[in-house]
Structure 1
Amino acid sequence: MNHRTKRFYKIGEVSDTLGLEAHVLRTWEEVFPELKPRKNRAGHRIFTEKDIQLISRIKQLVQEEGYTLDGARRQLNRPTLVSMKNEPFTTDVTDVKEELESIRKLLERARNLLDSH
């Protein structure tokens, strides 16, 4: 669902696109606190791209990877490299470069020793 001009999607559109029944989406709203589509003035659910990405991930966990709803919820709450990408680095890049250079020199010396024997 990558309609650049569209910002919100009705439950039927999401249901059709992802191959899920609308009642499944409504159930998942109750199970997954992160899934909270807004409602329009008429009281109909409207989903954002972010909601759709979350639903796709839930679908993958439940239908493809075999998680229960509870297991999928726990899996979604686990920290991942993606979720940690905005955390500050604890190591300075310069320190890492120096360490790598030191390792490279050690490997070079080891290779020279092996070549000389």
Structure 2
Amino acid sequence: MKPVIEFEEDANHPRQNYRVKPMPNDPIKLLVAGREMEIIDLSVKGVAFRYAGETKQSSYPIELLISVGRRYQVACELRIVRHQDDIVSGVFEALSARDETVLNKLVMALQRRDIREATKRKDDN
């Protein structure tokens, strides 16, 4: 399956290119122009989500509400790079250093969880 969000690889910042697929009970919400969306995958650079309507603008204000240890709010613009069928992909614009750190922590936490679950499945087989 082709990745939903494609970015140029940055060898100096591999975590920024790593996409995680949040589970429904993960402590993260995506609000695009104030409406909650279902996240397909997320990286430090951008997000893909489901939306069946039209994207009439080239960018939208977003909020990521994250609870990892404590509550965080990441607010920025999302530049739409693709809208195919009901999948919208976008790149975060003008992230603050603090927000980038929060996203790095979130991606690492979800990546660790995915590795633990994959290891457990392997051990169970």
Normalized per residue, which structure has more strand? 2
Q: Give the structure-2-normalised TM-score.
A: 0.26
Q: Give the structure-1-normalised TM-score.
A: 0.27
Greater relative contact order (CA < 8 Å, ≥ 6 in sequence): 2
Q: Which structure has the bigger radius of gyration?
A: 1
Normalized per residue, which structure has more helix? 1
